[in-house]
Structure 1
Amino acid sequence: MSHWDDLLGHAFGLLLGRPLAEFDTAGTYAVFHYDDETAGEAIEDLDPGELVADVNGRSGDLGGDWLHPDRWVPDLARSAFVATQVRPAALQPLITATTDDDRAVVWGRDIGRALKAGSLSLDELTPDGYRRYPHLLLRPRTDGSLLDAMRAATWTMSAPDGLSDIGDSLVRHGYVEPGVSVVDPRWESTLDQIGDDALRRHLRGLCLDARWARMTGAYYLGPGDCPGDLQPIADLPGSSVIASWEFGEGQGATAVVLLSEPSAG
């Protein structure tokens, strides 16, 4: 492992409450992201070829220094689409699982195959009036390991490049007085144990208190908690949420999830 892998692994273990080596290595660790501004619109621009393409390898960084999904390499084949109570009949054979509130999970690869075969059309998936059709839970490319999933979830894929300092930005723009912490008190002492200053500052921006997380950065829910928009993934058989974050006033969420699928990713 590289020096930065060691630094990141230690920092992630602190955030998760135990070293990464103590987590189960038999399954696949993945990241899923919900964004209410694009989750529904994504369905209208689906490319069947991208939905069936194998996207393998370690997490990648498409550039930038902020916390934005555009930095990820998308893995649409293994992304999830969640269909609500009203859904086209053509989706029925593709459903992986349904939740207690009748939300159904369909994998991108299955939608892509159905589109290419002609058994499903984009018109059937496009929202019409008050009908609510599948919304996207984006999965970025990762290699299946917990370390790489946490890298993607925290936008540290190319660290030390691409790290941000949201606390400093709030001070420079006059939102916060110098020396005033914007971090959730629950995580202050944990973050103080991270030795690298740039990494510590970056991760502080992902552990803001609820007030500041409404406008920038993220609010860290902690180990095991799951935002409601990502609950359908947590409810899949054999799955468990490792860590999660919320953005804004509930407009976005990210979760690292242990899936019961082969560790090849």
Structure 2
Amino acid sequence: MNSASANIPGPWSEQLSGAFEILLGRPLASFDADAVYATFFGGNLINELGFAQDAAWVNPAALRGAEPVVWDCPVFDLDEPLLEFDASRSVFEFDKAGLPPEFEADLAAACFSDRLILGGDLAPLLARHDLAASDLRGTWTVCHPRLVSDGTLFDAMRVATALGTGPESLLPLEAEAAEEWREALAGLTPPELSTHLSFFCTEGEEGLMYLRTERSGGDLLADEGCTLIANWEEGQGQVEFAVVQVGGLLARRDRSRAGIRRPSAGRPRR
């Protein structure tokens, strides 16, 4: 699952594929074609603003993957694009206190690790126990929010770098790329793509730093078989985009939901 998404036009997908291969240092085709890839959002900002505990995450339609969770925070200091999350494939963490005993027992059985559960597995539990967001206030957080993508490495890289389905999605971002990336990015076409991606390859005083497979917060779900493929961080730790190859139980759960329609864009839920 590393090829371009079907809804990306040919010339644009070729331009993006070339750019992603520069960043990854190897062809997209050299990655496991049968693997599932995802982009997780992190950093301090989402917690400082309280969005990791927003009731939109436990909306039944969002947990089923029928609609995205849209954050109306201008991460790039622009009105668009807004980040769209897949609650069904995001990871929730529950506290031990404050939960109804019957729900607590079912939750423990459904968790893939201690106190960690996928949103898609949480949905039937809430329905079974007739629980709403107000019933669980203060007992959970989304510790690993996952952005909406189609499971391919191409699409995970695309959403991590805030690129849309055509050149019109290029953002008027202004930041100078770190010296090691300037020459490589300068050859990209259209030139606006080079400018856009320069914002994602800075020294960290502005824009985002591209850390390849390094991460200041340590391993990301490595105990669950996930492998970090690419990582971007803001210099003050406020924002992070991490592309991972999903492994183990999480990958099996992901594949089991392959027939469930992924949340589509344009249906905000707050």
Superposition map of 1:231-246 within 5 A: 231-237=219-225, 239-246=226-233
Is structure 2 residue 214 aligned with structure 1 residue 225? yes
Shift of the 48–54 alpha-carbon distance from structure 1 to 2, 3 Å rule, reads closer
Higher mean C-alpha deviation, range 247-256 or range 197-206: 247-256
Q: Give the 3 Å change call, closer, same or farther, for CA 65–114 of structure 1 in structure 2.
A: closer
Identical amino acids, percent of aligned pairs: 29
Deviation at residue 207 of structure 1 after TM alignment: 0.9
Q: 5+ unaligned residues in a row in structure 1: which ranges?
A: 57-61, 99-103, 171-181
SS of 2:183's equivalent in the other structure is: helix
CA distance in structure 2 between the aligned counterparts of 1:65 and 1:253, rounded to whole angstroms: 10
Task: Say which SS state the counterpart of residue 111 (structure 1) adopts.
Answer: helix
Distance 1:87 1:36 in 2: 25
Match of 1:28 in 2: 36
Letter matched to residue 198 of structure 2: R
Query: 2:156 is matched with which residue?
Result: 149
Aligned length: 231
Q: Distance in 2 between matches of 1:83 and 1:194?
A: 45
Deviations 1:102-123 (A, max 9, x none): xx53211122221111176645
- Could you tell me the TM-score, scaled by structure 2's length? 0.72
* Aligned residue runs from structure 1 range 158-169, under 5 A: 158-167=165-174
Query: Once the 2 structures are TM-superposed, how far is the Cα of residue 193 of structure 1 from its aligned partner?
Result: 3.4
**In the alignment, is the contact (CA less than 8 A) between 1:36 and 1:251 conserved in 2?**
yes
Which secondary structure state, in structure 2, belongs to the residue aligned with residue 254 of structure 1?
strand
Does the Cα contact within 8 Å between 2:52 and 2:141 map onto a contact in 1? no
Tell me the distance in 2 between the aligned counterparts of 1:227 and 1:86: 30
Shift of 1:8: 0.3
Looking at structure 1, the residues matched to 130 and 117 of structure 2 have their Cα atoms a distance apart, in angstroms, of 15
Cα drift, residue 218 of structure 1: 1.4
Describe the shift of the 1:41–1:87 C-alpha distance in structure 2 as closer, same or farther (beyond 3 A).
Answer: farther
**Given the alignment, which residue of 93, 109, 130 partners 1:93?**
109
TM superposition shift of 1:136:
4.0
Conserved? CA contact 1:29–1:258, under 8 Å: yes
Contact 2:37 2:246 in 1 (8 A): yes
Task: Single out whichever of 154-163 and 1-10 deviates more from structure 2.
Answer: 154-163
Residue-by-residue CA offset, 1:35-84 (whole Å, 9 max, x unaligned): 5343454434131232123469xxxxx9x994779634431111112457
Pairwise CA distance, 1:220: 1.1
- Specify whether residues 126 and 198 from structure 1 end up closer, same or farther in structure 2 by C-alpha distance, changes over 3 A only: same
2:163 counterpart SS class: coil
Question: How far off is 1:154 after superposition?
Answer: 0.7
Mark the runs of 5 or more structure 2 residues left unpaired by the alignment. Answer: 1-8, 263-270
CA RMSD of aligned residues (A): 3.3
CA contact (8 A) 1:35 1:252 kept: yes
**Structure 1 residue 211, shift from structure 2 partner:** 1.8
Number of the residue aligned with 1:210: 204
- Is the Cα–Cα contact under 8 Å of residues 243 and 255 in structure 1 kept in the other structure? yes
